[in-house]
Amino acid sequence: MALLSPGFHRRRPEGEADAGDRLPPGQYLTDGFPVLSAGPTPRIIPASWSFTVENENGQKTSWSWQEFMDLPQETPTVDIHCVTRWSKFGTSWQGVSLDTLLENVETDAGYAVFHSHGGYTTNVPLEEITDGKAWIVHTFDGEPLDPEHGGPARGLIPHLYFWKSAKWVQGVRLLDHDDPGFWETAGYHNHGDPWREERYAWA
């Protein structure tokens, strides 16, 4: 069963009526950061964390925490949108672009599947995580990412519903075919575009 943090309720901060083109249809603004998880929160110390990219031929490239932190860092500020209808504007992160992580990977793949501690997976077309669209992030609002929000590192794909931004991420596998993940096989939309309200498979 999904776990909700206390205070996961409809809010209406000042300025919502003026959100204009930034607020997708069916969404409302929150100034909090609700927690929604499909199970217990893993507790992973950075010293034991690694991230692995595996291409469709099984070739792997891995980074330890320190190697990951030594890669070029970016600081995206983005709006995020949860399928449960909350949106949060101007969130600030720090992490490594997927473009950097995929830079030296030989692949003809068209799809990617993120894998997380605890067994969670989520799938995206490869084009959705390249060209500056996605990151693996370790810092939120200037502080190390809390475990409840996916720390020590999570995916960040802000133009899709937030379930696609996998928490506690440990790797991504590139595939020549689509492979739906945890929520996608449970009836959520395979793509998850908030501007098209792609919430469920029947949308």
Q: How many helices (H) and strands (E) does the chain have?
A: 3, 13
Q: Does pLDDT of 18 surpass 90?
A: no
Question: In sequence order, which residues have a C-beta less than 8 Å from that of residue 35 and are 6 or more positions away?
Answer: 3, 4, 5, 8, 148, 149
Q: Can you give the pLDDT at residue 160? A: 98
Are the beta carbons of 14 and 44 closer than 8 angstroms? no
Mean pLDDT of 174-179: 98
76 — pLDDT class (breaks 50, 70, 90): very high
7 — pLDDT class (breaks 50, 70, 90): very low
- Cα distance between residue 109 and residue 98, in whole Å: 15
- Cα distance between residue 177 and residue 175, in whole Å: 5
For residues 44-65, one letter each, b for 16 or more C-beta atoms within 10 angstroms of the residue's C-beta and e for the rest, the string is: bebeebebebbbbeeeeeebeb
Instruction: State whether residue 58 is helix, strand or coil.
Output: coil
Domain edges within the chain: 25-33+50-196
Task: Tell me the per-residue pLDDT of 134-171, one tens digit each, with 9 for 90 and over.
Answer: 999 999 999 999 999 999 999 999 999 999 999 999 99
Q: Does pLDDT of 1 surpass 80?
A: no
Looking at per-residue pLDDT, the higher value among 30 and 203 belongs to: 30
Question: In sequence order, which residues have a C-beta less than 8 Å from that of residue 24 and are 6 or more positions away?
Answer: 81, 87, 194, 195, 197
Q: Can you give the pLDDT at residue 40? A: 84
16 — pLDDT class (breaks 50, 70, 90): low
Task: Tell me the per-residue pLDDT of 21-53, one tens digit each, with 9 for 90 and over.
Answer: 899 999 999 999 988 776 789 999 999 999 999
Q: Can you give the pLDDT at residue 203? A: 61
Looking at per-residue pLDDT, the higher value among 54 and 39 belongs to: 54
Q: Can you give the pLDDT at residue 39? A: 72
Q: Does pLDDT of 4 surpass 60?
A: no
- Cα distance between residue 94 and residue 8, in whole Å: 25
What value does the mean pLDDT of the chain take?
A: 91
Any idea which fold 25-33+50-196 has? Answer: Sulfite Oxidase; Chain A, domain 2 (3.90.420)
What is the share, in percent, of the chain residues with pLDDT greater than 70?
Answer: 90
